[in-house]
């Protein structure tokens, strides 16, 4: 799988590669042109020396002594330039000069002697051939090296400079990403994607996301409305059937039919609890924003224990402290009751604790059961999720209790999660915004 990279890094790499490629191309073109100019200047100098030498020979005829004298004078005069001179007769025989200057077949300049000499060939009026040469050292490798170095330097500078430039270029997209990351799904209709950036692509993307948000908000509203309506429609007949079963059980006396009616009544009670939970889960998360009732967490624990059988109440240890939170007391009571019920299912003893720190009130519910594997701590809050251990042990429930707990906690600005504990069992923490001291005094 390819590694992930940021758009800024990609833009920086693209700029660096483009700059280095452009620099390399420009450097190679400049190198070729500079090499040509240097070579052309060297040839011009040699040609001028050859023509001057041939002109001087034209006044001396074919006298070898005179030719040698002219050659010696030219060598002495141009010795500081490193030029070599040679004269050939009409039969291509060397009359005077350096033997390294072989007579070329054609007039003009060329490289000879294994590319160590650059020679130019011309003729005089007496059919003498004049050859002038000089040491030849190609500057092309040096220029190529300089070109490569320039390209690398351009790439490094482009990489350094392109990072802030790339950040500036993608800044509108980054701001849009940050605004999208801050969207609250439960208040998506109030989504704010910020003002236009006046960048065509980014504004087009913002418009597309805005349209998607509208469709998502419509779909969520329809789903929540359907769940709420379905739960309401189920609640009324269930309540009626449950009441009829109670009357029927009372009228039957101590018969076997009465026992069947009682069992049916219990099953119907479980179904009613399931419907109530589904109804709470269908409530939008922002529906409790205006709930400002002052609620004691300790009172919630005590109220949740009251309807339990005496044996279950004896297994629960009340918290020593207390904390006040704002919210809907009835919904928060359902949350705490589900937390205690979940702990009682898996452990023989349940310990509760309440503490306030950093503006947060935390209700801890510990049990001494088998605990929950870290891999399933998040999945446990998914609706209808049940661990393999719970299924194997036939632990009663529908897998909605923990989902309901987290949903209610989040509707009140908090959260719920399983955390590590030193001893055996599981620890559920429910964190809610605590009531400040100034708020308590005002109540």
**For the domain with range 288-442, which CATH number is right: 3.10.310.10, 3.30.565.10, 3.30.365.10, 3.40.50.620?**
3.30.565.10
**Which residues contact residue 127 at a Cβ distance below 8 angstroms, ignoring those fewer than 6 apart?**
89, 90
Q: Which two tokens stand for residue 392?
A: 């194997």
Helix (H) or strand (E) holding 122: strand 117-123
pLDDT, residue 124, reads 80
Same-fold call for 7-141 versus 288-442: no
Question: What is the four-CA torsion angle of 173, 175, 177, 179, rounded to 10 degrees?
Answer: -150
Count Cβ atoms within 10 A of the Cβ of residue 301 and give its class: 0-12 exposed, 13-18 middle, 19 or more buried: buried
The pLDDT of residue 443 is: 45
The pLDDT, as a whole number, for residue 1 is: 44
| pLDDT at site 57 | 76
> Are the beta carbons of 104 and 121 closer than 8 angstroms?
yes
> What CA–CA distance (Å, rounded) separates 378 from 387?
12
Per-residue pLDDT, 360: 92
Mean pLDDT (the chain) is: 77
Separation CA 385–CA 333 (nearest Å): 23
Q: Where are the alpha helices (DSSP H) in 306-387?
A: 310-314, 329-346
pLDDT tens digits for range 186-227:
666 666 777 877 778 777 888 888 888 788 777 777 776 776
- Rounded CA-CA distance 405/277 in Å is 10
pLDDT at 249: 66
| CA-wise closest residue to 279 among 237, 337, 232 | 232
**Which residue ranges in the chain fall short of pLDDT 70?**
1-12, 59-62, 79, 114, 137-140, 142-143, 159, 162-163, 166, 184-191, 224, 227-228, 230-236, 238, 242, 245, 248-262, 265-291, 389, 396-398, 437-443
Report d(CA 154, CA 21) in Å as an integer: 9
For residue range 44-77, what is the model confidence (pLDDT) as tens digits? 888 888 888 787 777 666 677 787 787 777 777 7
Where does residue 131 rank: exposed (0-12), middle (13-18), buried (19+ CB within 10 A)?
buried
Instruction: Please tell me the predicted confidence (pLDDT) of residue 362.
Output: 94
Q: Where are the domains of the chain?
A: 7-141, 200-281, 288-442
Homologous superfamily of domain range 7-141: PAS domain (3.30.450.20)
DSSP state of 2: P
pLDDT value at residue 254: 62
CATH number of 200-281: 1.10.287.130
Angle between helices 7-58 and 64-77 (to 10 degrees): 140
Q: Given this model, what pLDDT does residue 441 score?
A: 46
d(CA 59, CA 21): 58
Percent of the chain at pLDDT exceeding 90: 12
Give yes or no for a contact between 47 and 107, defined as CB atoms under 8 angstroms apart.
no
The count of C-alpha atoms lying within 13 angstroms of the C-alpha of 52, restricted to the half-sphere facing its C-beta, is 15
SS3 161: helix
pTM over 0.85: no
């Amino acid at each position: 799988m390819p590694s992930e990279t940021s758009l800024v890094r990609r833009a920086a790499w693209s700029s660096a590669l483009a700059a280095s490629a452009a620099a390399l191309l420009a450097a190679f073109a400049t190198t070729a042109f500079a090499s040509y100019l240097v070579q052309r200047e060297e040839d011009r100098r040699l040609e001028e020396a050859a023509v001057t030498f041939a002109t001087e020979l034209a006044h001396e005829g074919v006298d070898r002594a005179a030719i040698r004298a002219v050659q010696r004078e030219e060598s002495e005069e141009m010795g500081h330039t490193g030029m070599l001179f040679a004269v050939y007769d009409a039969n291509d025989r060397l009359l005077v000069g350096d033997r390294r200057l072989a007579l070329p077949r054609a007039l003009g300049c060329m490289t000879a002697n294994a590319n160590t000499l650059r020679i130019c060939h011309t003729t005089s009026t007496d059919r003498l051939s004049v050859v002038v040469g000089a040491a030849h050292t190609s500057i092309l490798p040096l220029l190529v090296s300089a070109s490569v170095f320039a390209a690398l330097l351009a790439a490094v500078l482009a990489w350094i400079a392109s990072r802030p430039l790339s950040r500036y270029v993608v800044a509108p997209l980054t701001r849009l990403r940050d605004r999208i990351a801050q969207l609250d799904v439960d208040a998506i209709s109030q989504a704010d994607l910020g003002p236009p950036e006046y960048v065509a692509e980014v504004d087009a993307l913002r418009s597309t996301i805005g349209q998607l948000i509208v469709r998502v908000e419509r779909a969520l509203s329809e789903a929540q409305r359907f769940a709420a309506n379905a739960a309401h429609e189920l609640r009324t007949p269930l309540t009626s059937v449950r009441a009829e079963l109670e009357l029927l059980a009372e009228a039957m006396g101590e018969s076997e039919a009465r026992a069947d009616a009682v069992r049916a009544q219990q099953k119907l009670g479980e179904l009613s609890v399931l419907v109530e939970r589904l109804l709470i889960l269908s409530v939008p998360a922002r529906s409790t924003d205006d709930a400002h009732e002052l609620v004691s967490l300790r009172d919630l624990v005590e109220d949740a224990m009251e309807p339990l059988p005496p044996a279950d109440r004896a297994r629960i240890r009340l918290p020593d402290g207390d904390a006040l939170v704002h919210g809907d007391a009835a919904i928060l009571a359902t949350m705490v009751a589900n937390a205690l019920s979940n702990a009682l299912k898996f452990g023989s003893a349940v310990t509760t604790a309440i503490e306030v720190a950093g503006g947060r009130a935390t209700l801890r519910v510990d049990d001494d059961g088998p605990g929950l594997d870290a891999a399933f701590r998040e999945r446990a809050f998914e609706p209808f999720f049940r661990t393999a251990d719970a299924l194997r042990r036939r632990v009663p429930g529908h897998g909605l209790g923990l989902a309901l707990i987290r949903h209610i906690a989040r509707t009140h600005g908090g959260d719920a999660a399983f955390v590590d504990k030193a001893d055996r069992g599981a620890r559920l923490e429910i964190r809610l915004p605590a009531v400040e001291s100034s708020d308590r005094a005002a109540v």
